[in-house]
């Protein structure tokens, strides 16, 4: 039997419309590439530094002071990057609640990236707190302060990541075991599958409520900081702004991530799905911008936005970075052009990250001369955390059926596997 | 299959919007904090302070702190600001025409932002309204530092098991000495200790007796930031001696209300959950049917 090709070269031409039908592992690429090794190196550096940080105080490792008490591990890894990890919530709601069926093909990528952003955020949080050994208080409800936004974040983030996202990602692993495992394992999966599927809708609904809570709480964190946060950002509706902005970042990041992955591993694109996501993104951004500027006008702070000092310019850049994608992606022809969709989603990601990062750090003014800048060790640990997410993502797409592909890629993989088995048998004989 | 009509979409949309708005919209502010009946406090008067710093030394001794001698090269206790070794400090303000000493320590707010923000009740407003820190429940997140409008809590950045350091009004020695170390040693009565309402009366008497002396003819802390248990009388502008301009509403009275609402018996999250479950199950059944059909036709298992 001749071995069939993974897919036809002509069908990989960029811009060609294809249909994503099924998640297929990137089975034809080796795992240990130079990029992967580089990521492992960053992880190693970060791990060593994090280990050293736990030998003593936080002081030598961070640029934080009593005035700028929170550094990048909290303000970037937790408060900014989990917004990028909200794709599972935003796209999940569109797919399961609003019944946008075409988005199911991209859900696996969204779930994996969300899990990784949240997981590395949690690791960052543990590295950041000064007395992590007291974290067991989180398990004792009578020690909770339920009116604290930070309590909600501390409780809900691990629950969301380690229960809901882990559960929703488990089909990846089960599926792999199904195809690689022995008869006993298959029997066990056959037995458990209906049970898993029967609780699945209840878990999905939970996986929407929990992030809605804590993504808005992340905004609530800043409300209590009062005047220290610049009035262009500080607002009583910050929780709602943060919530919708999480949806923006989540959708934009999934577009960027899936398109980049398809480019790197030569997968055909399904511009129908991307276009549908881009349309959603555009709508979300426009709604958010109207909401944000209405809030500025009601609070009488709109004038500050156009004073053209450093803060106002940062504010304008941040808004333009989301406004431009929103307008460009309104046009169906443009949002179904791969290059445009990718660039615009990337801009929206950067704008979203700025929105999350500026008010906690750059325009956060505790009224001292000192200006916070992260230390080298702090940045290296942050880089380590991001590399951890990157390396795990690469592993995930190569081992599990994460990235969407046409059906023929699936058959190609199966043919390949069969061919391998046959030649092994021949070699044995 | 009939597909998903525009009307269905709008209906779902409206439902989600309402549920989300209900879950996170601001609600009425809670009732303003009442002054605890046994609230103690301190009254500091800039016109009486001679800047002797006896209170700084006494505070260090009473709280077993290591004196901050960094500036003098190890010779004298010379803190330049409140820090993890200094719970109480005397600073000098020099303007062009006026000058004043000022004492800084925890204000013991009536409705403290640090207590409202602390995730695991490590900071609590306890007996006599004193804001105290509990080492067993603190995870070291430093949110108290982020939210405190007076920038009082300090963190031991260099320590392996860092503490949050702030004035606790000498609650460990109130039984023995009946007042904090700083008020006990003050030679001029610039800082005095007592019941908050008595101190407030005393402050208002001083304003009445010395018209034109005090800035704005009012007591800082009576209402500022929702009211504090440490009260200030100043002959220079409050801003000049580091007392921020705050509204009469405390930060938690609006800053934490979303979360008070959201966690109120979990009513809103549960409503939101029920709403999602209903729609997801409906769509799930359809998805399931299609998946099973595809499984029999193509022989490929459904991917979730």
Query: Average pLDDT for residues B46-75, to the nearest whole number?
Result: 94
The answer on pLDDT for B276 being more than 90 is: yes
Asked whether residue B292 carries a pLDDT value surpassing 60, the answer given is yes
Residues of chain B with pLDDT > 90, as a percent, come to: 70
Work out the minimum CA distance from A38 to partner chain B, whole angstroms.
32
Q: Which domain holds residue B278?
A: 6-29+255-303
B11 lies in the same domain as B149: no
pLDDT greater than 50 at residue A109:
yes
The pLDDT value recorded for residue A70 is: 93
Q: Is the pLDDT of residue A71 over 50?
A: yes
User: Does residue B225 register a pLDDT over 50?
Assistant: yes
CA torsion sign, A73 to A77 to A83 to A86? Answer: negative
Closest approach of chain A CAs to the CA of B10, in angstroms? 9
From B210, B229, B249, the end of a domain falls on: B249
Q: What is the mean pLDDT of chain B?
A: 87
* Residue B118 at interface with chain A, using a CB cutoff of 8 Å: yes
Mean pLDDT calculated for residue range B251-263: 72
pLDDT of residue A355: 96
Instruction: Write down the pLDDT at residue A371.
Output: 84
CA–CA distance, B22 with B83 (Å, rounded to integer): 42
Strands (E) in B51-172, as ranges, are 89-94, 99-104, 123-125, 131-133, 154-155, 164-165
Tell whether B187 and B85 lie within a shared domain. yes
| Bridging pattern class, strands B99-104 and B131-133 | unpaired
Measured CA to CA in angstroms, residue A151 lies from A124, A207, B239, B256 at distances of 16, 18, 33, 11
Model-level pTM? 0.90
ipTM of this predicted structure: 0.89
Determine contact: A167 vs chain B, CB below 8 A. Answer: no
Point out the domain boundary residue: B230, B249, B268.
B249
Q: Is A67 on the interface with B (CB under 8 A)?
A: yes
CA distance A344 to chain B (A): 25
Highest mean pLDDT among A19-33, A241-255, A398-412, B262-276 belongs to A241-255
Residue A422 forms contact with B (CB below 8 Å): no
What's chain A's average pLDDT?
A: 91
Same domain for B214 and B294, yes or no, is no
Q: Could you say which residues from 315 to 374 on chain A have a Cβ atom under 8 Å away from some Cβ of chain B?
A: 366-367
Please, which pLDDT band fits residue B263 given cuts at 50, 70 and 90? low
Residues of A in contact with B149 (CB under 8 A): 226-228
Residue B155: list chain A partners with CB under 8 A: 66, 69, 130
Across the interface, whether the CB atoms of B24 and A239 are under 8 A apart is answered yes
- Residue B116 falls inside a structural domain: yes
Residue pLDDT, tens place only, B106-150: 999 999 999 999 999 999 998 899 999 999 999 999 999 999 999
Model confidence at A1, pLDDT cuts 50, 70, 90, reads: very low
Same domain, B101 and B126: yes
Q: Which of A56, A70, A213 sits opposite B269 (nearest CB)?
A: A213
Is B34 domain-assigned? no
Residue B221 and residue B262 share a domain: no
Task: Work out how many domains chain B is built from and give that number.
Answer: 2
User: Which range (A85-94, A297-306, B197-206, B249-258) has the least confidence?
Assistant: B249-258
HSE of B180, CA atoms in CB hemisphere, 13 A? 30
B261 close to A (CB below 8 A) = no
Looking up residue B66, the CATH number of its domain turns out to be 3.30.70.20
pLDDT, position B24: 43
Domain assignment present for residue B1? The answer is: no
Ordered by where they begin, the domains of chain A are 33-401 (1.20.1630.10)
Residues B189 and B93 in one domain: yes
Q: Do residue B179 and residue B145 come from a single domain?
A: yes
Using alpha carbons only, what angle is made at residue A285 by residues A231 and A209, rounded to the nearest 5 degrees? 90
Q: How far apart are CA B239 and CA B23, in angstroms?
A: 39
CA distance B151 to chain A (A): 7
Q: What is the DSSP string of A279-307?
A: HHHHHHHHHHHHHHHHHHHHTT-HHHHTS
pLDDT digit string, tens, across residues A137-186: 999 999 998 889 999 999 999 999 999 999 999 999 999 999 888 899 99
One domain for residues B140 and B289: no
Whether B115 and B259 map to the same domain: the answer is no
In 3-state terms, what secondary structure has residue B19?
A: helix
Is B35 within a domain? Answer: no
For chain B, percent of residues with pLDDT exceeding 70: 86
Residues B291 and B220 in one domain: no
Report the C-alpha gap between A345 and A347 in whole angstroms. Answer: 5
Interface test with A, best of B258, B282, B299 (most A CBs within 10 A): B258
């Amino acid at each position: 039997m001749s071995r069939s090709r993974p897919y036809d070269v002509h069908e990989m031409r960029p811009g060609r419309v294809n249909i994503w039908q099924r998640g297929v592992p990137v089975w034809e690429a080796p795992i240990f590439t130079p990029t992967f090794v580089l990521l492992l190196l960053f992880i190693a550096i970060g791990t060593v530094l994090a280990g050293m940080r736990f030998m003593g105080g936080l002081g030598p490792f961070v640029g934080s002071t009593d005035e700028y008490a929170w550094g990048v591990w909290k303000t970037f890894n937790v408060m900014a990057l989990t917004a990028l990890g909200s794709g599972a919530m935003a796209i999940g709601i569109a797919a399961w609640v609003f019944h946008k069926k075409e988005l199911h093909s991209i859900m696996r990528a969204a779930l994996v990236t969300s899990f990784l952003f949240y997981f590395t955020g949690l690791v960052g949080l543990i590295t950041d707190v000064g007395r992590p050994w007291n974290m067991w208080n989180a398990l004792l409800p009578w020690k909770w302060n339920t009116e604290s936004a930070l309590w909600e974040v501390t409780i809900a983030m691990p629950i969301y990541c380690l229960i809901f996202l882990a559960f929703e990602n488990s089909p990846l692993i089960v599926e792999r075991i199904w195809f690689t495992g022995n008869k006993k394992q298959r029997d066990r999966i056959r037995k458990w599958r209906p049970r898993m599927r029967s609780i699945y809708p209840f878990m999905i609904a939970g996986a929407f409520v929990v992030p809605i809570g804590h993504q808005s709480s992340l905004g609530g964190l800043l409300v209590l900081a009062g005047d220290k946060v610049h009035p262009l950002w500080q607002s009583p509706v910050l929780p709602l702004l943060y919530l919708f902005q999480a949806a923006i970042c989540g959708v934009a990041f999934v577009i960027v991530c899936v398109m980049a992955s398809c480019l790197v591993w030569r997968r055909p694109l399904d511009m129908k799905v991307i276009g549908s996501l881009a349309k959603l993104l555009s709508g979300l951004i426009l709604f958010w911008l109207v909401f944000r500027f209405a809030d500025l006008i009601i609070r009488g702070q709109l004038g500050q936005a156009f004073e053209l000092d450093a803060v106002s310019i940062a504010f304008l850049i941040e808004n333009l970075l989301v406004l431009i994608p929103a307008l460009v992606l309104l046009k169906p022809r443009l949002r179904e052009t791969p290059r445009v969709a990718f660039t615009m989603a990337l801009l929206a990601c950067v704008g979203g990250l700025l929105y999350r990062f500026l008010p906690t750090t750059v325009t956060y003014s505790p009224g001292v001369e000192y200006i916070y800048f992260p230390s080298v060790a702090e940045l290296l640990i942050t880089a380590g955390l991001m590399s951890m997410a990157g390396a795990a993502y690469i592993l995930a797409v190569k081992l599990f059926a994460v990235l969407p592909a046409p059906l023929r890629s699936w058959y190609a993989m199966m043919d390949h596997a069969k061919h391998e088995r046959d030649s092994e048998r021949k070699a044995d004989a | 299959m009939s597909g998903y009509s525009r009307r269905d979409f709008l209906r779902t949309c409206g439902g989600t919007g309402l549920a989300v708005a209900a879950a996170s919209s601001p609600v009425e502010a809670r009732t303003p904090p009442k002054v605890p009946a046994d609230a103690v406090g301190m009254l500091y008067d800039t016109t009486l302070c001679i800047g002797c710093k006896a209170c700084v030394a006494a505070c260090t001794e009473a709280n077993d702190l290591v004196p901050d001698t960094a500036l003098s090269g190890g010779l004298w206790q010379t803190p330049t600001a409140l820090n993890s070794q200094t719970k109480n400090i005397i600073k000098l303000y020099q303007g062009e025409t006026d000058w004043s000493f000022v004492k800084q320590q925890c204000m013991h707010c009536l409705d403290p932002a640090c207590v409202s923000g602390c995730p695991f009740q490590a900071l609590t407003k306890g007996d006599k309204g004193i804001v105290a820190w509990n080492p067993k429940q603190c995870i070291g997140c430093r949110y108290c530092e982020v939210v405190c409008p007076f920038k009082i809590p300090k963190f031991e950045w260099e320590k392996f098991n860092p503490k949050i350091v702030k004035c606790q009004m000498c609650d460990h020695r109130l039984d023995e000495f009946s007042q904090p170390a700083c008020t006990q040693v003050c030679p001029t009565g610039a800082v005095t200790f007592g019941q908050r309402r008595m101190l407030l009366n005393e402050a208002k008497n001083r304003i009445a007796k010395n018209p034109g002396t005090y800035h704005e003819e009012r007591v800082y802390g009576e209402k500022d930031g929702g009211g504090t248990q440490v009260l200030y009388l100043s002959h220079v502008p409050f801003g000049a001696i580091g007392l921020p301009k705050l509204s009469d509403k405390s930060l938690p009275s609006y800053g934490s209300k979303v979360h008070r609402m959201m966690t109120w018996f979990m009513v809103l999250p549960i409503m939101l959950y029920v709403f999602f479950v209903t729609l997801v199950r409906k769509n799930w059944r359809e998805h399931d049917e299609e998946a099973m059909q595809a499984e029999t036709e193509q022989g490929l298992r459904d991917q979730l």
